Each structure stands twice: as structure tokens, then as C-alpha cells.
Structure 1
Amino acid sequence: MFVSGRPLLSTLAAWVGALLLLSLASCGSSEPPSARDHFASLVGDWEGSHKILGYPEEFEASYTISMEGDVLVHNFTSAFEGGFTGYERMTIAEDGELVATWSDSGSEESLVTRGSWDAETNTLTMQGEGTSWTDPEKKIQYRHVTVYGDDTLSYTMHMTEDGQEQEVMWIEMSRK
């Protein structure tokens, strides 16, 4: 522990200087954005449609995306079943893996997914195990794939049950 604030201030100044040098070194870089930078670029309001396997109609939907420190927060609403809501918090683990927790008005338990951001293809892929939609006693695999364009996102949910994977949900959004 420091007795005076001087060593702490010197250390802090060194860190700030190093961060400035790193940020200047990346200016004009052709490297794709990091997951953190990509998350920050999503902040705002989004609108679009939500479609679910077995339902012929599309439902109006919206996202409000924000950052709370290094945590990406999704608030999702859809006209499905008269008013479906969902809430997700996603962060970057120390090993670089993405970790998210999703809760919604149609489920009794949260779904935890893990995955990665591919900056080259602008694709986020998350996977996890959760409760089956058709049998609450059964656990199945979920895979969520989101592809980002210029002010657009296209999301697909895949479920693997009894060894069979199928697409079960689609969301198309544009930035407001």
C-alpha cells in the first residue's frame, strides 16, 4: 500500500500515457474493430420484425441497445403474444470469449450463452444449453447467429433437439 499518493499518480500517468500511445498507433489502421468497439457502435434504437417458426405472420419489434461500462445491454420488445419482452447482458470474459445472459417474458429461466465475434464477417455467434420450448423437462442446444451490416442486423436462432438442428426464429432490424 502506498503511503503517499505520488507513486499511485505516477503509475496512473504511465497507464494513461500507454493507452494514448496505443490508441494513436491504431488511428488509421485497417484492422477490423474489436468486439468492444463493435458493441459500442450498436448503441441506439433499432426497429424491425420478429418471426417465429410455426407463426405465419411477422411481428413488429424493437431493440434499445446501450453500454453499461464494458457490458452490452439489449432491451427487446415484440408484438408477439401481445407483448413479448427480452433483456440481455453481454460482456467479454478475460479469455476474450463473449458471455451473455438472456431473460424474457416467455421463459422461467435465463439462458447463458458463450461465443465469439468475427470481425472479418461482422458475425456474432453464441451457443448455450437451455430448456426446450416443447418439453420443459428437456435441455437442448441453442445457437444464435447475428450478422451486422451498415445500420442493420439479421439474427437467426437455431435449436438442436434430438440431434436435429433447425432455425426457429428470425429478427431483422435497422437503426432508427
Structure 2
Amino acid sequence: MPEEGKWYVVHTYSGYENKVASNLEKTVENRQLQDLIQEIRVPTETVTEIKDNKKRDVERKIFPGYVLVKMVLTDESWYVVRNIRGCTGFVGPSSKPIPLTNEEVARLGVEKREVEVNYDVGDSVQIVDGPLEGFVGTVEEVDLEKNRVRVTVSMFGRETPVELELDQAETMD
């Protein structure tokens, strides 16, 4: 039974994040280290840019210069990650890797956690978290893949669409 890994932050040369991630994946595969180094992520977000009056969806790195690695820390796994070309070391005091806490992992949205959704398009929901906490709105769209829900809220006499995470809204009792 493989041990459960923890998430570590690896510092890379800027612009080398994807290269480091793919090289690390290849090394893990070649050396059969899947139980030690379990997951490798370059956190990105999709942003809509408007350039020359054209809208484009662009994928942008959330933390340029960093790669997140879920691994069981041993001398071997440390050595493999540390010696990937483009990697400058782990984030932590004197390059000693410090794992992310569960709260940090949740805040970064690195691991997908299952959210029970008991509402559907057209339902009235109450916003239970965030700046609009306490507001009531109508569900317009539910996107389980991206963990998002669009709710139309009445503010100052206007219907305003709001994007929320799925667990920020609950059905009205």
C-alpha cells in the first residue's frame, strides 16, 4: 500500500514550469517512482483578454516560477525532483521541503474535492460564503467540471450575474 503523499512547492526558472513538469513526469515513469512522486501540477487559470476589440481565452499561470508536486519525501524522491533541469529547489527554509497544509491545498484548489450539489438551474439559492453572503439568487448555470455556479442576484434593483464556487451556494429551505 503506497504511502499518501503531501504537496510540495518546487521553484523553477521562470518560463520553465511546463518543461520541468513534463521532464519530471518522464523521469518518474522511467524510474517507476509512481508511489513516491504521485502528481505534478502547474496551477493555471483561464482568463479572458480583450485585445484589438477581440475576446480571447488565455491560460495563465497562477504562480509563475513554481510547480506543485505531490510526493512522499524520501532521499530518492528529493534527489530526483531537485536534479530536474530547470528546477532551482524546494520552497522552504534552507531548501528543506516543507509540505503545504491541508488548508493551503484547499485554498489553492490543487486537489479536486467532490462537492454535493443539491440545486439545479432555475432553483433559488442562498449564498453562504464570500462578499455576497446572505444574498438570495437564481441558478443560471452549473459547471461541475470547473466547480462553478452562475447565480443571478438582485442588487440595487438590478439583476446581476455572479460566479461562485459550487459550495458557496445552498438551496433555500
Higher relative contact order (CA 8 A, sep 6+): 2
Task: Verify same fold: TM over 0.5.
Answer: no
Using the size of structure 1 for normalisation, the TM-score is: 0.24
